[in-house]
Amino acid sequence: MAVDLLLGLQWGDEGKGKIVDVLTSNYNIIARFQGGPNAGHTLVFNGMKHVLHTIPSGIFHKEAVNLVGNGVVIDPVIFKKELDKLSLQKVDYKKSLVISRKAHLILPTHRLLDAASEASKGKAKIGSTLKGIGPTYMDKTGRNGIRVGDLELDNWKEKYRSLANKHESMVSFYNVDLEYDLNELEVEFFEAIKVLKSLKFIDSEEYLHQAQRNGKSILAEGAQGSLLDIDFGTYPFVTSSNTTAAGACTGLGIAPNAIGEVYGIFKAYTTRVGSGPFPTELFDQDGETMGRVGNEFGATTGRSRRCGWLDLVALRYACQVNGVTQLMMMKADVLSGFKSLKVCTSYKYKGEIINHFPYNVEAHNLSPIYTDFEGWVEDLTEMSNKSTLPKSLNTYIDFLEKELQIPIKLVSVGPDRKQTIFR
């Protein structure tokens, strides 16, 4: 059976967690394929807010298997905290959670390296979440990393000590004032390792292969957003993994010809956390309103998100790179009350009008060209049927569908899983 993908099409925070939660009832297996605890997938149901960082967003559904794939990097400390919260909510995660032996581990010293590297950059910071993700992927590609499967070996602590010592010497290289107590960090780390080792480790590529042969339905859950992809994002202000559709193949061991539907998720406007170019960013009252009404604060970092109008050039690019087959528009409710809306439909780039996403999107190279739309005042949060959506919102949606040549199958009108309209 084909594997469906669910991906963010902007700079992250699109609402992937909610949609995975909504769709999970249709799938036997939910699989995370890249990233680490820099993700913050927020789910709201029964009046409660739940934030997941590493664990797949299907964990609250009793019948679904939740798989952490080989492309994910795991911080045992953060992972344990997630498990502790699940325990408080009576979630039997040992029954439904499996971990690839090939997933890499984030060590305490990876976090120290991350902090030292970011501090050394001064004003040129890339906006790292300081979770140690970048250094962990560097060790992975440098063939120095420690994987989950290593925890089953007798000498894994020796491997740990050797790598941690190397990291400490590298921290001193950055020549920054970084205060830390490694012994204290390691106590917490080794306690978390004990919990991690109580879970089921699997050879995930074989597990998924057999699941496909047996007709199991699989949804691959992406983290971060397409514009943060290490290759196709706004480099160097990107994450350290492939967040696009191709990443699902390498992050789970799925063959390209086994990919089915590609669900692309985007906000009705655009946000970004941290540094990096943002062509449609707003610095006025409209931007402030989007941030306030949309509660635009990072689920992982707590940092306020930068807000701007929808960038159709960037969105079209993300759809192309991912081969998106269905679109899902989030946070339409946040735009209620705006008298007029804008959509960036092209760029003025170095004196020319272009419709594609160029190599460099820094503000000094380009300016957005907008198309105006009539806004709507209706409160969408209580709506449950597409027939009740305001005419101007439908006009907005129809325009996007025509421009992207991809159907928008779902519109989110609030954070709760119930506040979801299928079209």
- Kind of pairing, strands 218-221 and 48-52? unpaired
Instruction: Evaluate whether 400 touches 312 at the Cβ level (below 8 Å).
Output: yes
Q: What is the DSSP string of 163-197?
A: HHHHHHHHHHHT-------HHHHHHHHHHHHHHHT
Per-residue burial over 18-42, b = 16 or more CB atoms within 10 Å of its CB, e = otherwise? bbbbbbbeebbbbbbbbbbbbbbbb
What are the mean pLDDT values of the chain's consecutive 10-residue runs (423 residues total)?
95 88 91 87 68 86 93 96 89 93 97 86 68 93 97 96 94 82 93 97 97 96 95 95 96 96 98 94 96 84 89 98 98 97 97 95 94 97 92 97 98 92 93
Q: What is the pLDDT of residue 299?
A: 63
Q: What is the dihedral of CA 242, 310, 344, 383, to 10 degrees?
A: 140
Q: Which residues of 271-289 are buried (b: 16+ CB within 10 A; e: fewer)?
A: bbbbbbbbbbbbeeebbeb
Q: Which two tokens stand for residue 365?
A: 């190279």
| CB 350 within 8 Å of CB 316 | no
- The token pair that represents 309 in the structure block: 């109008």
Q: What is the pLDDT of residue 125?
A: 63
- 160: CB partners within 8 A, 6+ apart: 107, 146
Helix (H, G, I), strand (E, B) or coil at 5: strand
Residues marked as catalytic: 13, 41
d(CA 114, CA 336): 40
